[in-house]
Structure 1
Amino acid sequence: MTPRADILKDVVADLRIAASFVTIMPVASSKPSGDGAIARATWALPVAGLLVGLAGALAYKIAIRLGLAPNLAALLTLATTALVTGALHEDGLADTADGLGGGYTRERKLEIMRDSRIGTYGVCALILSFGLRWSALVAIASPWGVMLALIAAHAASRAGVPAFMSLVPPARRDGLAASAGTPPGRSVAIAFAVGTLALALALGPAKALVGLVLLSIAGLTLARLAIRQIGGQTGDILGAFEQACEILILLVAAAFLHAGG
């Protein structure tokens, strides 16, 4: 096999790993998941996010074509993206809210985050997440604008995950974050570039810059909170990070994109 064919095979394998990592699509790669394979494949997370955004945009377009109002179309859109991802990130957000908000010690917080049951903090976090995203999509209203916003939000929200994993150590020796490994600098850089490109193309350079600043603030805030309270990041923390970034980008899009067309 030629070097070019080997590179293409690795790229496809990474894309399949990323897609299986953040969605329920049956695209698991035959490439071994050990030996840092997941960490190396994190460059493709924003690409997988783009697919999730397109699925949501398609659901919105179909709902509008069927004559549904934007508020109902937006609700179906969020249901679609949650279904495609298996509500993985929402689960992480709820567990993070329960753990960081409900425990008094590091050990208790981590124990709560591993508990499959949802508490008051988790319920409130999910209500805020769905409410803010729904409101943003309703404010944008136009199918074209919603598509751009969803692509930007789902790609950019995952583009920062490799950097977050690289800069914030795992809180546990076991678990998703620890087993995934630390993404290499190349994967971090490619993911950042893909996410930034998606933001710029969907929202324009100026709005993309606003989005990047907000995402950086959100990432630094959550990283500081996670390190102080539980000693680092977990899979749940990464889910909460994705949700926070997704919400922020949709709000930025709602503030700048106008309805119509």
Structure 2
Amino acid sequence: MQAVTRNGRILNTAFRKAGDEAAPVLAFSNSLGTDFRIWDEVVARLPADWGVLRYDTAGHGLSPSGGAMSIDDHAGDLAALLEAFDIDTAVVVGLSVGGLIAQSLALSRPERVAGLVLSNTGMKIGTSEIWNTRADAIRAGGMEAICDATMERWFSGGFRARQPAELARWRTMLAHTPADSYIALGTAIRDADYSSRAGSISAPTLCIAGSEDSATPPATLQALARTIPGARYEEIADIGHLPCVEVPERTAGLIAGFIREHVT
């Protein structure tokens, strides 16, 4: 792991340099309430010579909170990391809020984005009522107040039944997320809406949905794919909000196939 400082804040990262100049570099942006470990099993299944940048979003994992930040501010963090590691262009893989961050980067710094993989996300995620109600619940009862309901959104019923130990592991990650950091990033999600701008994204794009994802249902990804010119849509059956955890081999295969066909 490596730390990069931006505006006096530390961003915790893990970086693997590409094996040669022709190999792609992938930058992964994680979801709310998680850290970059959600990508471990996907990265393990990608070609070893591909470059990989992962990082903990501000306020998550080992990256301290940046306070009140917009999605565009978070995209600025990602742009700074690309510069810090001398990455000219990257395929940005964004999950949930990471997908919003990826869209923002593709719109503000299109020259740095070789392709987009937008997993379980949308042009807008949720409603103000949803995010305000969730923030109030956390303020009243701490992170434990939302953990069980979040596990039902994150994972399919089959995964929850088959993998109780894994479920407990990811629940613990969520429970240990600082409440103020979760609320701050949730507020950024609440206020973000790329519906009027996503059609201007020019990067090759793959949109991935899970058929059992109640947080960003397939219809949300279908709308995103219809809006971004030339975007491809893939739906994984019987999977929830975190396909990178539930089916990492399938997720890695979709990412690798997309990059080989549309980016390299």
TM-score over 0.5 (shorter chain): no
Which has the larger Rg? Answer: 1
TM-score w.r.t. structure 2 length? 0.29
- The answer to which structure has the higher helix fraction is 1
TM-score w.r.t. structure 1 length? 0.29
